[in-house]
Structure 1
């Protein structure tokens, strides 16, 4: 990579973390932000505590500081939320699409005006750099605006009838109460991508946010309340890890809940699907990934390095579509490894609220342990560490951004999702070998490849067994695209014009005697 290109990449990474103002105060110092650090859950338009008064702490992963304590709810409170959502559905489904759209647009607008406060909260509880948090808030609220429009385009069909006496119609109607279970890595966007579609379709929701990051969810409720979204339409039940399974079980087993939408691990997704069988719920599952990032000999290597950095290290590697295995063809292998390590060596690790930080902490020490185990396994089996490869001095939740070459298929990094700042680079010889390696996993969420051979581009794009493909691009998420995977990476799609269909039933109506 040219010196100019290297400087530009580092400059771009630093620009990502610059504040929109000259100085960004911490959540403890920001009056408006701290006012959004709620201490109650939100059920039926009320800010409520757990029935037994129990709470659990929400801590900053960068330093362990206590941000807030929120209600540790259990099955009884969850069923109460479901009951209120079911009552609210009887009214909300009868709002016109335009009435719902107006409320959703107001919700979008007020969150847009308070984007900085929402970003401060997100960084405090999740750890990602403020610039990334701002980007997530913008991305998350864009789904509310998108589905406010899509809700007005829920079209049915008039079907040509074979009988003169009959008229045939397809109607689309909301499924009902939806249980929404979301992860900690995108605590704003994952909620709004689901809830925006559900509410626009006429459904009501009960949200169980991740125990590590409940404050972002509660903040969205605050703004929903401000713009007049009716009580019971949006409910958030908070709980600790200890009670997460029983809260999830209520959502899956209650006959009043018609759908479950979950983002998280494949193992948990399978449990939720099994629990939903008795009530035959509709389910949407956005589950684990093991994305391959392929660099062919014909690729622009500098562009491939930039794409790998964007894909691998966003969110400190804690994204479901992160490049988990980097496959590089032998002619450009050494060049790619050298250039990738050079860029990664210039990352700035630190608290996400510190100016200049490009890599924040992992969500907890358990996550660090997993990254470290993958590194040690790779080294023990012949992998060569080019940069990083150790816990970072910043603290117990930090790990040094790492690049390892000479990776082989028997290493854990090839079969398990690392979910951290580790880029394992594998050498391959032929296109067929690369595609075989990329597809040699039970997951199929996302894949990436770089090539300038148009025939190869078509072949590989069609042959990769994934739901989403980045071609000469490392950042593929957008409001307008259908997000989701195949195989054990899930069911259904979110975002795009297809996302609202996940919350609608098709009813056939036959008019006789015409």
Structure 2
């Protein structure tokens, strides 16, 4: 399995994880061993960057930016179009690699690559729509307008749960905007990054793209700290835990740089008495167990009207009994493994805390053992009846643990949903128009994403993706998220033969 995938992308079982987009440098850092949570087998060993490697990549990227920013945006867009075509050609292989290295189901692996293809298509159109505004001047014979220019180096720190898609959200937009990118992938999923780097390098070489536009620097926390503290990097886009995001944000802010943070979620679905319960079941179960609960948009909490609580939780329990847990490359399975043993320990610790704090389980959890579960990373999705005020419920655990609780009024339900530190994704299931509009109003959900009659998980690339509060406030992907990768410039042109001052100020000589 692993050998076939590595061969398809020209990846060695042991190789450097540092690339300038044209040359793979001799990495001087520590080895990162990628082990699949599916079967506990080693996929490849990747040598990480040391500080000299990092500085060398930065220098190449700085030089590349001087040329790349002058390429017309539609020409840059055509390069991204070709990347999309290359991803289409490699969708099956790359999707399998994503599934095998990260552990998500094969369908989700394919879906992640499709998301990359979709953002390429979006970015191609965007390359002809980097619009500025034209404004009327108060001074005669003057014209005012604003335009957008690229920032320079965009550093991308991605997480293991979407090892390639979130990188593409950032890089494709950054490239059409005229930036160059340096990617630090998660040390838990470095091989998928190597594969993407190989794909992009082939496209770039065929189009004589300057070396340094697409760079890869594998490493751990220290590498991310280099990026966060580097004044040569105007924008750091980081996806991960709230703890990590606070560290990155503080470091970048201290040097007055820009950060784009996509952090934790503690997402809830409100299940109204007027909900279509059958439809709600699909959204709730996929949201809770998809990617084994390791999405930032995973459904963590169900806030259920007391009148339908018993009926809906009975449906949930029955649905959970039908879940198939196992090798994610087998398309019959719904749920794959957690990423590693640390994630398993966090899952078990959370279950213990739920019990200590007074919760009870409608569906018990536990670690699966026996044939097919030798990696020790397969766990049972579980359902716990809790109160929203429990300390553990306020915390995000990256695992398939679903909390259920009751409410009486919609105002109470919205308050419960908002009463957590995170603010990423939210949803209400209702056929009542008034409830839907109240949920979407300024007095409703405080999250960056608020849905009606769909779950919290599975955002499309056309809309801006991101959240509020401890989720970081960043926006990636669609809408006008491209503005995060550019600097705004206001221009005034005087085409008259006089120099009047604004605000009617007189300054005669």
Aligned-partner SS, 1:470: strand
Given candidates 459, 483, 486, the residue that maps to 1:504 is 486
The alignment's TM-score, normalised by the length of structure 2, stands at 0.91
In structure 1, C-alpha distance between the alignment counterparts of 2:398 and 2:31, rounded to whole Å: 29
Q: Which residue of 2 aligns with 1:143?
A: 119
Q: 1:411 to 1:392 in 2, by over 3 A?
A: farther
Alignment of 1:388-427 (within 5 A): 388-393=364-369, 394-395=373-374, 396-405=376-385, 407-427=386-406
Q: Which residue of 2 aligns with 1:234?
A: 214
Q: Which residue of 2 aligns with 1:315?
A: 291
Given candidates 490, 493, 502, the residue that maps to 2:475 is 493
Q: Say if 2:453 is the partner of 1:478.
A: no
Q: 1:234 to 1:33 in 2, by over 3 A?
A: same
Aligned-partner SS, 1:277: helix
Q: Which residue of 2 aligns with 1:465?
A: 446
In structure 2, C-alpha distance between the alignment counterparts of 1:47 and 1:361, rounded to whole Å: 35
In structure 2, C-alpha distance between the alignment counterparts of 1:51 and 1:113, rounded to whole Å: 30
In structure 1, C-alpha distance between the alignment counterparts of 2:103 and 2:50, rounded to whole Å: 27
Q: Which residue of 2 aligns with 1:15?
A: none
Q: 1:50 to 1:268 in 2, by over 3 A?
A: farther
Aligned-pair CA distance for 1:76: 2.3
Post-superposition Cα deviations, 1:372-392, rounded to whole Å, max 9, x if no partner, equal 122222234443322231111
Q: Which residue of 2 aligns with 1:361?
A: 337
Say if 1:325 and 1:413, in contact at 8 Å, map to a contact too: no
Q: Say if 2:238 is the partner of 1:256.
A: no
Gaps of 5+ in 2: 497-509
Aligned-partner SS, 1:94: coil
Aligned-pair CA distance for 1:37: 6.1
In structure 1, C-alpha distance between the alignment counterparts of 2:237 and 2:388, rounded to whole Å: 33
In structure 1, C-alpha distance between the alignment counterparts of 2:397 and 2:318, rounded to whole Å: 22
Aligned-partner SS, 1:331: coil
Say if 2:141 and 2:494, in contact at 8 Å, map to a contact too: yes
Post-superposition Cα deviations, 1:52-94, rounded to whole Å, max 9, x if no partner, equal 3642211101222110011121332222211111110000000
In structure 2, C-alpha distance between the alignment counterparts of 1:354 and 1:377, rounded to whole Å: 33
Range moving further from structure 2, 77-86 or 360-369: 77-86
Say if 2:20 and 2:216, in contact at 8 Å, map to a contact too: no
In structure 2, C-alpha distance between the alignment counterparts of 1:347 and 1:413, rounded to whole Å: 25
Q: Which residue of 2 aligns with 1:169?
A: 145
Post-superposition Cα deviations, 1:106-163, rounded to whole Å, max 9, x if no partner, equal 1110111110111121112101111110011101221122112102111122221111
Q: 1:435 to 1:169 in 2, by over 3 A?
A: same
Gaps of 5+ in 1: 1-25
Aligned-pair CA distance for 1:194: 0.6
Q: What RMSD, in angstroms, separates the aligned Cα atoms of the two structures?
A: 1.7
In structure 2, C-alpha distance between the alignment counterparts of 1:129 and 1:263, rounded to whole Å: 21
Matched residue count:
484
In structure 2, C-alpha distance between the alignment counterparts of 1:450 and 1:488, rounded to whole Å: 25
In structure 2, C-alpha distance between the alignment counterparts of 1:315 and 1:62, rounded to whole Å: 13
